[in-house]
Chain A
Amino acid sequence: MALIELKDINKTYNNGQPLHVLKGIDLQIDKGEFVSIMGASGSGKSTLLNILGILDNYDTGTYTLNGTLIKDLSEKQAADYRNRMIGFIFQSFNLISFKTAVENVELPLYYQGVSRKKRHDMAMEYLDKLGLTQWASHFPNEMSGGQKQRVAIARALITHPQIILADEPTGALDSKTSVEVMDLLTRLNKEEGMTIIVVTHESGVANQADKIIHIKDGVIGKIEENEKHDAWGGSLIK
């Protein structure tokens, strides 16, 4: 059974001039898949990601996540689903600047009501996994972009989510650290079977995924199987 099932999703923004952003999206993503969503800016890929991440709601259609229909949720329910089912990775890392790395990683567990000691131990475990143990008590502004993104990944992973949603995860990184972060995501996918969806407009980044979904003007253009990672000659660097 598909982990994510979108059926005829429509979304219109009504800021003055109505803007029909998503025009009937049908999409299925299975458990353990590594998918990238590509598209030019304004194509609706970020909106799609927001809907997938329950950050935004849609007008018509159905979105089923792990057998749960995600529609007309109360803010509280939405927050709870986000917390338990989805891990976010953002382009600008979105770490809280006045909290240390370990405190940032702990934060989702804080909102679950996990005890201080337990969530600290778990956060340290995840930082260790990502090789950031010695950076645990550092603040985000003391870390490099790649380290920050790895902290953000640890934060996304700590609640054992069903899916990882990454919005331009390498957008603020240089090419070397971009490779590192993408390798990390690939490893998570291969070794732990984590379902990962990456939104990007960089072909090199998209090429890391097993499946590339091209979105254009609010509809899905084509879905490319990319098991061999050779969509653009296999190089991450453009």
Chain B
Amino acid sequence: MRLFDTDTFREILDSITRNRSRSLLTGFGVFWGVFMLMLLTGGSQGLKGLLNKNFEGFAQNTCIIATSQTSKPYKGFSKGRYWEMEYADVDRLRSLVPELETISPTVALWGRSFTRDEYTHSGTIRGSRPDYANIETPKMMYGRYLNDADIAQERKVCVIGKKVYASLFPEGGDPCGKRIVVDGSYYSVIGVDWREGGGINVNGSPADLVTIPISQARKAYNLGNTIHLLCFTAKPGFTMSDLTPRVRQIVSRAHYVDPTDEQAMFLLNTQLMFGIIDNLFKGINFLVWLIGLGTLLAGVIGVSNIMMVSVRERTTEIGIRRAIGATPNQILGQIMSESIVLTLAAGLMGIVFSVLILSGVELGMTEDGMLKAPFQVPFWTAIAAAAMLTVLGVVAGLMPASRAMAIKPVDAMRDE
């Protein structure tokens, strides 16, 4: 039997359109299943994208230590003591925890003002080293990030955030080489970091930040050996969660702080947060597939059921067809193709509809002409869904088709 000629197709279309409302209602089950599956898949993917955007630029295996008042007495010190980390901690960790890759200290000065001519902006000054780029990857719009020479020569240079740039250079253009006043003294701009900032901000939003060499910051603000944050990443193959207890021990001991004092030493482990998000979306995806496939399955069972009824109703018709020369295979082919066409047509409608809705969502999620997160289902997912629908159509058609095949031509005459 030729499966794809116009005649066969017309036969199928005739049968499906004969009972239009029933076909529509039956198809709706499949349509809804596919629609839900696609929409939820796209939605969860988009949400994940949005959430991950908050951590944009952050290395996944990063940890940041901040200090605070102690909450437990330790080695003769009473609780409530203020303490700060020092440069030596970098070397301690370097020698005692070889699994760490980058160890970068930073200092921060909050609420400072930046001016250029009549323009001003206020934000945070961060003193850091070039290797801080391994912790938070800057998105350089103009110029470059700090380099080793900046540190060694204690240069008065700065990398400015997006909003700082917008306030101080409203005329736009490349600001590199121009001088701005950072908290009272002149610095040359060497680059613009274009990050928006979001979920995890270190020293405030990166858009309001002015980054200067840490050596210059120490000198300018008399910070001595003090550091404010200690950021580090683990070497590939090591998980941060395995290393943090040791890091905590080493740093606390050196400063006579109780290693069990969670308040005195705050550890932000991004790996944990990424893990939480990952697990969250694993759960969501599981639910999405459970709901989507469940609905789809219910739809397919509906198709099978209706085809069953339809075959029963058409006993006479099938008998007539058999009497005038249709082979059982032709009847099988007809019922199967009806089932496939019904399932596939409804399913494709579902795919198209969900793609349209997701496109609309993407349209609403665009900022400055840039998509915040991809909501659209990938092309190949849609193709796979279509293939799956064909298979489901076959499955749905199996039972009704075998029943139709069993109809003998004499039944046509008996059913009078």
Is B329 an interface residue, CB under 8 A from the partner?
yes
A144-167 CB contacts (< 8 Å) to partner B: 155, 159, 167
A-B contact count (CB 8 A): 70
**What residue of chain A has the Cβ atom nearest to residue B328's Cβ?**
A75
In the bound complex, do residue B324 and residue A155 qualify as a contact, i.e. CB atoms below 8 Å apart? yes
B6 at interface (Cβ–Cβ under 8 A)? yes
Which listed segment binds B: A21-29, A36-44, A104-112, A179-187?
A: A104-112
Give complex CA distance A215, B324 in Å. 26
Interface pair B324/A88, CB less than 8 Å apart: yes
A97, B11: Cα distance in complex, Å: 13
Confirm or deny: B400 has a beta carbon within 8 angstroms of a beta carbon on chain A: no
Give B383-416 interface residues, CB cut-off 8 Å to A. Answer: 408-410, 412-413, 416
Interface residues on A, range: 20 to 34
Task: Tell me, in angstroms, the Cα distance from A80 to B11 when the chains sit together.
Answer: 20
A113 to B5, CA, bound (A): 11
Minimal beta-carbon separation of B218 from chain A (angstroms): 90
Interface SS, B side: helix
Partner of B324 from the list A82, A97, A167 (CB cut-off 8 Å) is A82
In the complex with contacts A55-B410, A94-B316, A108-B14 CB distance below 8 A: no
Q: Enumerate A78-103 residues with CB–CB distance to B below 8 Å.
A: 79-80, 82-84, 88, 90-92, 94-99
Set of chain B residues within 8 Å of A75, measured between Cβ atoms: 327-328
User: Which residue in chain B gives the minimum CB-CB distance to A94?
Assistant: B320
B71 within 8 A of A: no
Is the CB of A204 closer than 8 A to any CB of chain B? Answer: no
CB pair A79–B327 under 8 Å, yes or no, is yes
Within residues 95 to 139 of chain A, which ones have a CB less than 8 A from any CB in chain B? 95-99, 107-108, 110-113, 116
Per-position binary interface string of chain B over residues 321-350, scored 1 when its CB falls under 8 Å from any chain A CB and 0 otherwise: 111111111100000000000000000000
Contacts of B18 in A (CB 8 A): 98
Query: How far, in whole Å, are A158 and B375 apart by their CA atoms in the complex?
Result: 59
Could you tell me the distance between the alpha carbons of A95 and B412 in the complex, rounded to whole angstroms? Answer: 11
Chain A's closest residue to B314 (CB) is: A96
Whether A76 sits at the interface, judged by CB under 8 Å, is yes
- Determine if A142 is an interface residue (Cβ-Cβ < 8 Å): no
Chain B: CB-nearest residue to A97: B317
Interface residues of B in 280-339 (CB under 8 A from A): 316-317, 319-330
Contact assessment for A107 and B321 in the assembled complex, using a CB-CB cutoff below 8 Å: yes
With A and B bound together, what is the CA distance between A37 and B7 in angstroms?
Answer: 38
Q: Is the CB of A79 within 8 A of B326?
A: yes
Q: Are the CB atoms of A98 and B14 closer together than 8 Å?
A: yes
Q: How far is the CA of A107 from the CA of B325 in the complex (A)?
A: 9
Partner of A112, one of B323, B325, B410: B325
Chain A residues, CB < 8 A from B323: 53, 55, 82, 88, 94
- Which residues from A are CB-within-8-Å of B416? 91-92
Q: Quote the shortest CB–CB distance from A145 to chain B (angstroms).
A: 14
Residue A56 interfacial (CB < 8 Å)? yes
- Decide yes or no whether A62 CB sits under 8 A from chain B: no
Q: Which residue of A lies closest to B410 (CB)?
A: A55
Interfacial chain B residues near A56, Cβ < 8 Å:
408, 410
The CA-CA distance from A97 to B320 in the complex, in Å, is: 11
CB-defined contacts of A111 to chain B, threshold 8 Å: 321, 324-327, 330
Q: How far is the CB of A55 from chain B (nearest CB, A)?
A: 5
Whether A167 pairs with B14 at a CB distance below 8 angstroms is no
Q: Is the CB of B410 within 8 A of A83?
A: no
Task: Give the CA-CA distance A90 to B330 in the complex, in Å.
Answer: 23
B 1-54 contacts with A by CB, 8 A: 2, 6-7, 11, 14-15, 18
- A204 to B238 CA separation, bound complex (whole angstroms): 101
Q: For the complex of A and B, list the 5 residue pairs with the smallest distance between their C-beta atoms, beginning with the closest.
A: A83-B325, A79-B327, A111-B325, A55-B409, A108-B324
Interfacial residues, chain B to chain A (CB-CB below 8 A): 2, 6-7, 11, 14-15, 18, 316-317, 319-330, 408-410, 412-413, 416
> 28 interchain pairs (CB within 8 A)?
A50-B413, A55-B323, A55-B410, A56-B408, A56-B410, A76-B328, A79-B325, A79-B326, A79-B328, A82-B325, A83-B325, A90-B412, A90-B413, A91-B416, A92-B416, A94-B319, A94-B320, A94-B412, A95-B320, A96-B317, A97-B317, A107-B321, A107-B324, A110-B7, A110-B11, A111-B321, A113-B2, A159-B325
